[in-house]
Structure 1
Amino acid sequence: MPTYHLNVNSSRKMVETEADTPLLYVLRDYLELNGPKFGCGLAQCGSCKILVNGKAINSCMIPISSIGDAEITTLEELSDNKGKLHAVQQAFVDEQAAQCGYCLNGMVMTAVGLLNSNPNPDEMEIKTALQGNLCRCGTHTRIIRAIKTAAKSL
């Protein structure tokens, strides 16, 4: 079985698995990281979003063999070691932008990825970035407000 060396959450991790194993399974099952969620398994819902080199991607369809030395960041890495939330996480709390939690990982990781590349997005840019995330609770206006709030504090 092949061995892979991953850069995950500022640490080097070694994993033995088949080349076609989805990155989501490696993160959850082998590395016990619970931020990314299994939602649809088809890259349609956004629940499995992570950052790869600062860009938000769906991890459910990415085989581990394609990651190489990329820097992987999951929800667990966003807050600092002292318990202080990332600005996006804090804004989601402050704006009460979460309800059931199905979309939360994807929304937060997408927002961080967006703000990494565009620190001052307008509402249309935020909506466009969020298109790959399903939310069934209807908190869209609060999510957009939270991302705007986070942008101001970063």
Structure 2
Amino acid sequence: MNAMGSYLKKHTEALVKSVGVEKACELTGKSKATLGRYYSDHDEHADRFMPIDTVAKLEETSAYPHVTSALAELGGITLSIDRHRPNRAKSSGVNSDVLALSQRFAMLIAEYQQSIEDGVISVSETKLLLKEAVALQRVLLDMKLHLEEGKN
């Protein structure tokens, strides 16, 4: 087995064990033996990897996205985990997303206006602007997901 396969299998095992084998079986509808094959390093299971929908189900329950982070690392990608998603709970569709988007944008512009008054944006002001930009990005992501779902 190549190094990438071995690396993914180790992270697959970490994911299953972080959820718990019994719970993982319950969530995925797969047996212990099947889950075990996904992270087995034996030659006969070298080409078996966990299906992506199974990974998604388990990572939704897990405290950490083991396989997703491993894939990101292999691709040279950095992930940012955001467990706090206030827009997700209260947003019921595109209309509410547009309202949240306009509110967040107004907050970003207001923060920028205050920051630029003296002609210099300080480090702390930069952090506040970044925080608002990330909040705006979250709303845009929610809106994108609602549009993809057809939830207008």
TM-score range, shorter chain: under 0.3
**Structure (1 or 2) with the greater strand fraction:** 1
**Structure (1 or 2) with the greater helix fraction:** 2
Under a length normalisation based on structure 1, what TM-score does the superposition of the two structures give? 0.26
